Structure 1
Amino acid sequence: MKKKVFILGLILIVVGFGVYKYIYQDHRDIATEEANYSATVKEIFNAFTANDSLANAKYLDKTLALRGKISNIDFVNKIITVDEKLSARFTTALPENIKAEDSINLKGRLVGFDDLLEEIQMDQCTIVE
């Protein structure tokens, strides 16, 4: 009887530890991840306007390295608009030396495409040198 209780207790501990590790996984660090795709903002935008569902299947929640020209900068909210088609939200403060019309290479996680605003949205962005 003691042997069965011991084995049952051991099984419960192992299963409990597995469930705990599954629920409390480490968060993704997009800044250190390798980009799944590298393209221009216009190429990704064209993919979404051509076929939204295919582009979602291919790019959604993936790390992308995109390049384009800065259209607008919001230093307070840490958001840069690129080619008037991409809204990139940064996790850290933006460098003071960037300005509109500069070319930029950035990496981030694609959150989705807003049909109403016709805008690609990314978060956890970083500037790639």
Structure 2
Amino acid sequence: MKKKVFILALIILVVGFGTYKYIYQDHRDIASEEANFTTTVQDIFTSFTDNDSLANAKYLDKTVALRGKISNIDVANKIITVDEKLSARFAGKLPENIKAQDSINLKGRLVGFDDLLEEIQMDQCTVVE
């Protein structure tokens, strides 16, 4: 009887530990990930305006490297706008050497497309040299 209780307790412990490890996985480190796609802001924007559901299936929650020209910089919120079509939120503080109208290469996680603002959303962005 004691052996059965011990085995049952061991099984519950193993299943509980496995469930805990599955639920509380480490967060993704986008900066160290390899980009799934490398393209321009205009190409991704065209993909979303042509077929939103197909573009969501292809790009959503993927690491994407994009290039374009900086339109606006919001230092307080750590957001830059690229080609007036991409809103990129940085994980850390903004690089100090960027300014409006500079060309930039970004890597980040594509969060989605805002139909109302017609803007692509990215977060956890870093500048790629």
- The normalised TM-score by structure 1 is 0.98
Match of 2:36? 36
Match of 1:64? 64
Question: Cα distance, 1:3 vs. partner?
Answer: 1.1
Question: Cα distance, 1:61 vs. partner?
Answer: 0.4
Q: State the alpha-carbon separation in 2 of the partners of residues 120 and 25 from structure 1.
A: 27
Q: Which moved more, 1:64-73 or 1:88-97?
A: 88-97
RMSD value over aligned CA atoms?
A: 0.5
Q: Which runs of 5+ in 1 are unaligned?
A: none
**Superposed CA offset, 1:53-91 (max 9, x none):** 000000000000000000000111100000000000001
AA at the equivalent of 1:86? L
AA at the equivalent of 2:87? S
**Superposed CA offset, 1:38-59 (max 9, x none):** 0000000000000000000000
Residues matched between the structures, number: 129
- Report the identity percentage: 84
- The normalised TM-score by structure 2 is 0.98
Q: How does 1:101-120 map to 2 (within 5 A)?
A: 101-120=101-120
Q: How does 1:5-84 map to 2 (within 5 A)?
A: 5-84=5-84
Q: State the alpha-carbon separation in 1 of the partners of residues 50 and 72 from structure 2.
A: 25
Question: Cα distance, 1:96 vs. partner?
Answer: 1.8
Q: State the alpha-carbon separation in 2 of the partners of residues 93 and 28 from structure 1.
A: 18
Question: Cα distance, 1:124 vs. partner?
Answer: 0.3
Q: State the alpha-carbon separation in 2 of the partners of residues 9 and 93 from structure 1.
A: 48
Q: State the alpha-carbon separation in 2 of the partners of residues 95 and 43 from structure 1.
A: 25
Q: Which runs of 5+ in 2 are unaligned?
A: none
